[in-house]
Amino acid sequence: MGFPGTWMTESESTVYRVVPKCACSTIGQIMYYSDHGEFYGGDIHDASSGIHKWAIDKSQPLIEANVKNHSSYTFTCVRNPYTRILSSFFDKICGIQRNGKRYRGNLVPLLTQKYGIEVEGDFDQIKSFRRFLLFARDTIRWRKPMDPDIHWSAMSGHVSTFIVNGGTYDKIIFTEKFNAGMQGVLDNMNPKHQIDLKTIPRFNESEGHGPKRAHPIEDYFDDLSMHLVYEMYKRDFDIFKYDFENPANKMPVAEVDLKEVHKKLGV
């Protein structure tokens, strides 16, 4: 199976396991800048040179050798499950993608037909989001009406494949504490070009795709919604130390225990 979703700087200064909707655009641009002294001119997800990716055939043997030998400082980034699934809804379901089309073509019409989700005009965001949660749960639990999408499948699943196939993490950083966590990575990777995290732009490639969130995060989650979120992301809350009981608290409640991560996600 190899190491899908894994990126590595060309200099092999660091290895990163991408977790969608967890600052991956900004992290990729930092990795690119650290080697080249400039940011990639476009969405880093489109870059086919200047950075190694598992999706690029010629990068695979280099990534595999590095990961299996644990030659470089290796990290990933996680995010509160409540804010992550909400972001996925506004970006992927409500938004127009950078190709000018809806995400995955016929997905939104399917959701409108089967789940009554509305995304046009001045729609009821809370009502539509809660219906989207039912759909996301169906994809994760029963793989119907489709397999779960990478943007709302559990973070622990993304993080796990890297460990199961022979990788080891040195650090797991929080999106909510990004500068502190990413500085720790930079301190360990010895970049060719130094980066000031306080001044670099945030490359939120999904921003502007969809409507603005009209309500506080906690308003989107009633008791049933919280139950659905827990059903999908129980392991994410537990392992990555987020507060399930209070959707308004987006901050982690403790540091990630790397030994626990490798033990529980490595099987």
Give per-10-residue mean pLDDT for the chain (267 aa): 96 98 96 97 95 98 98 98 96 89 92 95 96 97 95 98 98 97 96 94 72 95 98 98 98 98 96
Read off the pLDDT of residues 43-77 as tens digits, 9 standing for 90 and up.
999 999 999 999 999 999 999 999 999 999 999 99
Q: How does pLDDT run across 119-150, given as a tens digit for each residue?
A: 988 999 999 999 999 999 999 999 999 999 99
Contacts of 29 (CB under 8 A, 6+ apart): 39, 40, 44, 200, 203
What integer best gives the mean pLDDT of the chain? Answer: 95
Beta strands in 134-177 (DSSP E): 171-174
Q: What is the pTM of this model?
A: 0.95
Distance of CA 192 to the CA centre of its chain: 26
The C-alpha R_g of the chain, in whole angstroms, comes to 18
